[in-house]
Amino acid sequence: DAKTTQPTSMDCAEGRAANLPCNHSTISGNEYVYWYRQIHSQGPQYIIHGLKNNETNEMASLIITEDRKSSTLILPHATLRDTAVYYCIVRVWEYGNKLVFGAGTILRVKS
């Protein structure tokens, strides 16, 4: 699985968009970009994933650069409940494939 690089921490004002970057310069053609988050004392929660097109769901948007070497997770209107560790993971899309977590980005949403 390709390695990812994320900033250690970020702050965001409540109600503003939170943009979390991720570098994955060694990503392979068959690897997807996945995002999970972990709120304190809970298990990780799936957010979104994509291959090369931008993706949006009820939680977030995922923007992947054309060369696929980096991506940005966007939380359009961050709330205090979005304070969490956000993990960017690249992996092959197949059933049962393990997740390789890095250190992630601590996002602090402030009022």
The two tokens of residue 84 are 């969490």
Taking the complex as a whole, how short is the minimal distance between the CB of residue 6 and another protein, in angstroms?
Answer: 10
Cβ neighbours of residue 64 closer than 8 Å, sequence gap 6 or more: 33, 50, 51, 52, 53, 54, 70, 71
**Number of residues counted as binding another protein (CB under 8 A):** 22
Residue 13 interacting with another protein (CB under 8 A): no
- Measured from the CB atom, the residue of 49 and 108 that comes closer to another protein is 49
| x/- map, 47-66, another protein, by CB under 8 A | --x-----------------
Q: Are the CB atoms for 20 and 73 separated by under 8 Å?
A: yes
